[in-house]
Each structure stands twice: as structure tokens, then as C-alpha cells.
Structure 1
């Protein structure tokens, strides 16, 4: 099949850890690579944000990234890209007029807008993965939500008119239904993890050295919604334990990062500054060793559309304590691979951590179960199986029902 991936701000070539570079970039990259390895012709369309980028660049497995001129050739916050989507869509229309894809898969709402503009003249079926929904962001961020005001209305329109919505978790299906998107138009295919890269390791020399203390790890983009403040407050209730926070700018730039400064002030106020280490951006190749060096991985956001970090930790055989939100509900098996706790409840986080740190056999059992769960349900091969099935049935014009891959 000829597959067009549309990911307007999340390039599969981007360095991870920035404000707008995270799980969506990983999803697009790994899904595209896996589909290309299966013999599909995959092109990823993403916005050109630097003048020196090549027109086309290869990905492992045979997929290609095509840089689309839409707006200035510079990095812009994703919420500022909305005015440039008509130009993005016009580019897709010209490209698809020359060579029509069998299916277009749009990632994020603005990509869906551009993909529908590009597909209109040629009848290209559009599959939509939102990765995050404006209704959820508005609910949790309120006046701090910087999304364009048109976002929710456009998401609703895309959900009702695209060929298929691919949700990443059951919680998203409920959110879509509340928006008025018929659940019969939705399939659930989760995110995935590279279980060969993220695996149990005996050698953790690539991780920071640790002493006798227990080690907790939190990682991801260094933004307030990730809930690192909750992890720091919980640490004040957990003795003989250190917390490492991985993500954000390179270590030598952390002093200029507002969120890093806020977290450091909080650690001082909570009396745990000597037990909190902000690592900044960590080379992805070192992340498996870092997770293996940790007793537990904490994932404590107030909301999380899916969240790949719990899967990475589980693939490494490291148990997870996560807030009971979004995709965490599907990925973490409470009482089996880790613990789910109510969002925003510091005491509950601390209680769960203390309980697990006090039972070494249970920690080991949870870690082994997490690895098994990932291999059974969350490899990129399993994700590609589900996505590929949806593509093929759409291309053949077969009716789809609400389903979970």
C-alpha cells in the first residue's frame, strides 16, 4: 500500500525532550518504520522548520520524511501553526495529485485539517489519530490552554467526517463520544514500545551512579502537566530514596529553563533538594539503562492522552506507579505490573511507593509481569498489525465496527 503519514509538528527526525517533541514523534517514527519494513511505501509529511533541511530524508526500514513548506522555516510552538495549515494542505493536494496514496493517516488535529484539505480532490481516505484532544486540554489547563479557539470544533468535524478514528486507549473513545463522534467510527490501537531496545539489563553503567538509597525515576517532556511536582511532594514522604527527573533541554541549559527552576524551588521548599536530580535531556540510547537502574518509574501527570513512558519502564522490567488517567488505565495493570493512584493525591503516590519498596519480591514479580504484558500487547509489531488491518479494510471498502486491536 502507498501510505501518507501527516504529522505537521511532530517530525520523526526530531530530537526528543523538547516542549513539543515527545510521544507523538516516537509513534509516527516507529509505526512508519515498521510499516515500511513490511513492504509498504510510506511517506511522512512534516513541516519544514529549518532552511537547511533536505526536501526528503530516509527513515530506517525504507520510509521517507518529506519536509513541507508551510509558514516560516523556523521552529514555532505547535499552537502557532494553525494559520499555516491551508498551505500545508495545498502542498499535500499537489503531491497527491501527482501520486495518490491509498490511505492518509493524520496525527494531531491540525494534521487532520491539512490531510482533509489535501485529500478532498482525489478521494483519499483519511484515518485520524488525535494523540490529544482539545476538550481534555481545556478541562485541565483552563485559561492556560494556548490552543487556537477553533480546535475543539475542528476536532469534532474531523472525527465525524474522516474515514476512521484510531484512538490510542479506551478513555479516548469516551471523550470522543462526549464530543459527538459516533463510537462506531472509532477503532482502538494502543501506542507501542521497542521491546528490543527497552529490555531488562544487567549492565546499567550508562546510568548515573547510585548509592544505598532507593531510586525513583520520572521522565518525559519538562512541562507542568507531567506532574513532576507531585513526585517531588511525594518524595518528602518517602525516606532513604532519591528522585531522578529526565527530560527537557540539555543539562547545560537547565539553569535557563523555567520549569526546571520551579521544580528546584519546590524541592528546596519540601526539604528534598539533596535527593532530587534534574538530568535534563538524556540520550535515548541511555534510557533503558536508566530505567533498569531504578526501583520504580513514576508517571504522575494530572492527565495523559496515552503515555509511552509506562510501557518503556514495563519493557525494562521496572514496575510503575502511575496516575489513574487516560492511557495509563489501559497500559498499567493495577496490582499486577504496578499501581494506579488518583491524580493529584500526593499521599496516595507516597503510600504506593513505600508499599512497593518495602516488598522486594513483589517488585520483582511486578517487573516480570510488566515485561510479559508489553510483549503480549504493546510491541510496535502488534501496533502495526492493528493499524495495517484498519488501512486494508478501508482500502477495500469493508465496513468497520468499533474494535480494540
Structure 2
């Protein structure tokens, strides 16, 4: 099968999915462009015309069997470019609610929309995407990179809670700093880029709470170094107030690190409460303190959650498994099953349909 992936530059999820599909025997061409993630100096949305024309020219000369677009800007380019060639378009929006109007349009113009969790499926349907066009495919994890055994970052003498921030979404890191005074023997290690103003505000809050020495802002951590950071943690905390498309909690689980997470979005799919991690209600700082303290203090609980977390990732989230699920949906799209035609009713000798009653089918003595 020939597949064209359309995306903005630098998307590790698509790189891993493409590699898994190639390993399964597919021919995958990746079309990425920086223009899809840039904005002009006056703040206008980037122009997609040249990129759409380039896609059209390539697909006119060498059309794929289908197009799979990722995120809404590449999705829009893919829909516009595929129309002339009549190519089916699959969309992965990787979250919902950023541009509801565009998401609704893409859902209606695409042959299939892939959601990464049950909540995203519900959000897409609520946004107006036809439910019949939505299928759920689990998020993938590179278990060769993210695994329980391997190097780990150096530790201090404190228990370690690790979290990862994303400047494009709420991360809940402010709440983790707020509860740190109640976790006397723990440090909070924050990975990921933060705008200077946000980092200064977080440090100021930590200073006012008297925990500045126990909050470490690492800044960006490379993908290659992330497993070592995760393995250095006693637990990881992912506590956003709103649904997000973070895959790193699954990567932490693959490293054998239990997760404390808020019960929103895909986190409720990733974390089975009391089995692979612990869930807390959004905004409930008392419950957050209690669950963090429970997990930090109970070595046996951490070990049991760790074992179950690795098993869950191995069972549902490896890239070969994800690729098989995506492949099945591709094939159903290109070659849908034919509806079963009802057999005509058996006719009696006189030509009238013979109707079998329950009494006719029962045994008599």
C-alpha cells in the first residue's frame, strides 16, 4: 500500500508510525513543511497555497493509495490537495478543541478520523465530526528507547517527582509546586521549554512557599535523554486541568515509573487507577497531596504499579501493535466489506413464502 503522510516538520509520532508501517511492508512517503508551523510577521496564518500546489503536482504524477494527515494545518493542506486526485484522506488531529471550526470541516471532508483515546473521540463527535467516521487508535511508544532498564539521571538524597511541560498546553506544574510544602522529603524536577516569564513566575511561587531549593527547572530535554530522566524518578506527575495529547506519561510507564495523573482526556485511557498509576480529580489539591504522599511512601505499591504499567504498554502501545491497528483501518477504508444480502425466504409448494415458527423448529415427541 502506498501512503502519503502530510505533517509539519519534526513530528516524532509520525516518524515512528511511518517506520512501523514500512516495517509491515507499506510504502510510505512523508511530506513535511516548516511553513505549516510558521506565522507571518504581522500575525496572519501561514499561506498554504504553495504547499498545496506541491502536493497536487506530486500526487498527479504518482498518486498514493491514501493520504494520512497529522494536525489541523497539514490536514487542511491534505484535504485541499487530495480533492483533485480523488484520494481518500485520513486525519489524526492529535487532540481536539484548538480550532473547532476547522476540525469539524476536516472531519466532514475526510474519509476517516483517528482519535488517540475515547475522550478525543467524544470531543470530535461533539465538535460535529460524524461519529461513523471516527475510530480510536492507541498512542504508540518506542519501547526500544523507553524501557525499565538503562541509564538514569543522577539523584539527590530526596524523593523525586518528575513532570514535563509543554508551552502550548496547560501542564498543571503550578499545582505541583503548591503541594510541595506538604511533601517534605521530595523534589520536583520539571523538564521542557518554558517561556522566561512563566519560568520566573514559577520560581517566584516556589520562593514564596519556601521550596525554591526543591524545584529544578531543566528546560528542554532531548528525546534521547528523556528515558534516563524518567528512570531517575520515584514517580511522574501529569496533572493538567484540561485534556491534552501528552504521550510522555505512557513513555514513563514503559520505563517502569508509576504515574499520578488528573482524570482528564487520554490520561484516563493511559492510567488505570490503582493498577498502573493513580488518578486524582482536577483541581483537588488535597487528593493530589494524598496520592503523591501515598505513592512516595509505599515502596510495594510503587513496585506493583510499575510492573503493571510496563505490561500495559507492552500489551497495547508498542508501535508494531499500533501499526497493525492503523493498517486494518486503512484496508477497511480502501476495501470496505460488502453488505450481506438477506437470503430470500423459502417458498412453499404453492408459491407463498414459508414462515417457520418457533413451534416448527422445536422437537416433538
Which interval holds the TM-score relative to the shorter structure? Answer: 0.7 to 0.9
User: Counterparts of 1:41 and 1:384 in 2: how far apart (Å)?
Assistant: 13
The answer to which structure, 1 or 2, has the higher relative contact order (CA under 8 A, 6+ apart) is 1
User: SS of the counterpart of 1:285?
Assistant: coil
- 1:39 lines up with 2:2 in the alignment: no
Q: TM-score, normalised by structure 2?
A: 0.87
- 1:107 lines up with 2:46 in the alignment: no
User: What's the offset of the Cα at 1:258?
Assistant: 2.3
User: What's the offset of the Cα at 1:332?
Assistant: 0.6
Residue matched to 2:49: 86
Out of 134, 149, 169, the residue aligned to residue 186 of structure 1 is 134
Q: Deviations over 1:84-126 (max 9, x none)?
A: 1233222211111111011101111122211111111111100
Task: Give runs of aligned pairs for residues 273-292 of structure 1, distance below 5 A.
Answer: 273-292=212-231
The answer as to whether partners of 1:224 and 1:259 remain within 8 angstroms in 2 is no
Q: Deviations over 1:289-310 (max 9, x none)?
A: 2111110001011123332111
The answer as to whether partners of 2:277 and 2:305 remain within 8 angstroms in 1 is yes
User: Counterparts of 1:26 and 1:235 in 2: how far apart (Å)?
Assistant: 33
Residue matched to 1:210: 155
Q: CA RMSD in A?
A: 2.2
Residue matched to 1:67: none
User: What's the offset of the Cα at 1:152?
Assistant: 2.1
Unaligned runs of 5+ in 2: 340-365
Pair 1:391–1:120, CA change in 2 (3 A): same
Task: Give runs of aligned pairs for residues 113-124 of structure 1, distance below 5 A.
Answer: 113-124=76-87
Out of 162, 173, 178, the residue aligned to residue 233 of structure 1 is 178
Task: Give runs of aligned pairs for residues 2-401 of structure 1, distance below 5 A.
Answer: 2-7=2-7, 9=8, 11=9, 14=10, 25-48=11-34, 75-76=38-39, 82-134=45-97, 137=98, 151-201=99-149, 203-204=151-152, 207=153, 209-222=154-167, 225-248=170-193, 257-398=196-337
User: What's the offset of the Cα at 1:41?
Assistant: 1.6
The answer as to whether partners of 2:165 and 2:193 remain within 8 angstroms in 1 is yes
Residue matched to 1:54: none
User: SS of the counterpart of 2:182?
Assistant: coil
Pair 1:291–1:83, CA change in 2 (3 A): closer
Pair 1:133–1:296, CA change in 2 (3 A): same
User: What's the offset of the Cα at 1:227?
Assistant: 1.5
Pair 1:283–1:110, CA change in 2 (3 A): closer
